[in-house]
A and B are shown apart, each in its own frame.
Chain A
Amino acid sequence: MSQTHLELTQVGIDFPTPKGPFRALDNVSLKIDKGEFVSLIGHSGCGKSTVLNIVAGLYQATSGGVVLGGKEVNQPGPERAVVFQNHSLLPWLSAYQNVELAVKQVFKRQKSRAEMREWIEHNLALVQMTHAMHKKPQEISGGMKQRVGIARALAMEPQVLLMDEPFGALDALTRAHLQDSLMDIQNELGNTVIMITHDVDEAVLLSDRIVMMTNGPAATIGEILPVNLPRPRERLELVDSREYNECRSAVLRFLYEKQKKVESIDAKRKPRKSWAQKLKITG
């Protein structure tokens, strides 16, 4: 299981600003094996999402590059499916139709109609959404929307699954429930996953490796922590596990000692660049 599947080599990105280019990321190098679950963690604004967007192909790296399965990444594509933070389902389509849109696009000539139908239903069943698959997004809860978003990404049979704070907008109980679901699915499918999170427990619970990022500007990888807890992992058993707590404190120490955010109140007031603004810059 040690062949490199996804490789980021000295990735850096500049965003143009009126004062000249702003170096958001610098020298990010990372090798990810097939079937590995990697979390990116860091303070907000450190460029976690930017890394993910570069791998997704939504942003173009200024320097360095990304190679997936021997091919260079330079545009978005369904083989690098993204689960967005706020589900991003099309509100005018039902859960089934949302997944169908992706399936039709990816398996255009490979699957018959009946096979597509079966595949869509299979993926919705994986995330336990069979009972509400013909409901529109506004008729289901936030957690259910995120489940459909995951089903849509899984249905593309991606070579790597990119998750951008997938559970960030959910309440703690729903989040725990979805994390368990995700672990079950991961045990079954063995996808290669990059997940962004700001939740230390989530990172330790789900990951094979935790990539900790330094603060921007020119953010880069600070430390990489392997999590060698045996799978399947049980949330309750882990509470007393020594290794779990060691991992947890290692991440916490990185975030709050080494990368302590020195931020005056004025700096905090400055609004963080939103997704939309960042997109306007590139597109």
Chain B
Amino acid sequence: MNPATIVKHKLSWDLERFQIGKIIRAVTLPIVGLVLFLGVWHWGAQQVDTSLGTFPGPQDVYEQWNNLVDEHQAENLRAAAFYERQDARHERQLAQDPNTELRFREYNRRPTFFDQIWTSLGTVMTGFFLATAIAIPLGIVIGLSNTTYRALNPIIQIFKPVSPLAWLPLVTMVVSAVYVTDDPLFAKSFVTSVITVALCSIWPTMINTAVGTASVNSDLLNVSRVLRLNWLSHVKTIVLPSAIPMMFTGLRLSLGIAWMVLIAAEMLAQNPGLGKFVWDEFQNGSSDSLGRICMAVLMIGFIGFLLDRALLFLQSWVNWDKSAVVR
């Protein structure tokens, strides 16, 4: 081997070692953190005696996870069996008399933990989309003119910190009074939850969109004036692209708040979902309840994390600046 190749070889070996070290650090450190957390939880849980027994440690919660999965599968089997029986019955009826009017019944499913997750996601998304649909156009209008910004900013700042628990009674009463139909498309509790979620999550998106809109580079505004762009193409080509990063900051804050608010809203409005699951378990008060609530807490956190990641992904897809680091 001549010296040059030796150096090269050594370099690549160093590089490899560096890369491996980086990977090890990236993997081990979170694991160390997790193990420490589980240890503290395990030890701490044993110190707390509640009226429902000792506070659940990691092991109990894992057990409850298995139970919840089992229950879900059992419910799926029951549903399948129900439809099988119905189909068999229909076949028999048709064999006796081909003109029989068949009666189809929906299986009255007892919502499991996983059903509740989907319900919650549906509710939170409805509320979040409603809020976004209002917040972004309004934010742009507010941000475009200094006058509207000054006029509306105090109002927004006052409503922004209001807790969902304060809105809920008002929203409930208003929904009961206004949403009166014989054939409701949505349950009242659903409408109440959605509106509460929207009311609480609308503000960060609105404020951030307004600020993003207002802080467009003044040179670009001059370009727009020299070109005499009309209002629509001004917003479309100049304002929106430069407001996108701020807008997404607002959207991520809003979605986080929406998810947090939803659990509280579901609890109080008795709307099906994870919040109701937690409330029911709390009322149920069996020895398993605390473990199941802990599982719900972990799940709520995990889903919140996934929702944030999803928006982050959307941001890096929508943003014109592909080299921008989004985190």
Contact = CB atoms under 8 A, between A and B. Distances in A.
Interface of A: 56-58, 76-78, 80-82, 84, 86, 88, 90-93, 101-102, 105-106, 136, 138, 156, 275-276, 279
B226 A82 contact: yes
Nearest to A84: B219
A91 B319 CA distance: 11
B237 A78 contact: no
Contacts of B237: 90, 93, 101
Nearest to B229: A105
Contacts of B220: 88, 90
Contact of A86 (B219, B228, B241, B321): B219
Contacts of B321: 91-92, 138
Given A138-B323, A275-B218, A90 B238 contact: yes
Interface residues of B, number: 20
A86 B219 CA distance: 8
Given A84-B219, A90-B238, A279-B218, A77 B226 contact: yes
A227 to B, nearest CB: 28
Contact of A105 (B228, B320, B323): B228
Given A77-B228, A279-B218, A84 B223 contact: yes
A84 B242 CA distance: 19
B99 interface: no
B222 interface: yes
A102 B218 contact: no
Contacts of A81: 226
Interface string B228-241: 11000100011001
Contacts of B222: 58, 76, 82, 84, 88, 279
B226 A78 contact: yes
Contacts of B219: 84, 86, 88, 275
A20 to B, nearest CB: 23
A90 B228 contact: no
Contacts of B227: 78, 101-102, 105-106, 156
Interface string B124-145: 0000000000000000000000
A92 B236 CA distance: 12
Given A86-B219, A90-B223, A101-B227, 9 more contacts: A77-B226, A82-B226, A88-B219, A88-B220, A90-B220, A90-B241, A92-B321, A93-B237, A275-B219
A181 B234 CA distance: 32
A279 B221 CA distance: 10
Contacts of A86: 219
B215 to A, nearest CB: 10
A249 B214 CA distance: 47
B228 A78 contact: yes
B225 interface: yes
Given A92-B321, A138-B323, A76 B228 contact: yes
Contacts of B229: 105
Given A78-B228, A105-B229, A92 B218 contact: no
Contacts of B221: 279
Interface in B227-270: 227-229, 233, 237-238, 241-242
B238 A76 contact: no
Contacts of B225: 57-58, 76
Nearest to A106: B227
Interface string B48-85: 00000000000000000000000000000000000000
B315 to A, nearest CB: 14
Contacts of A106: 227
A84 B217 CA distance: 13
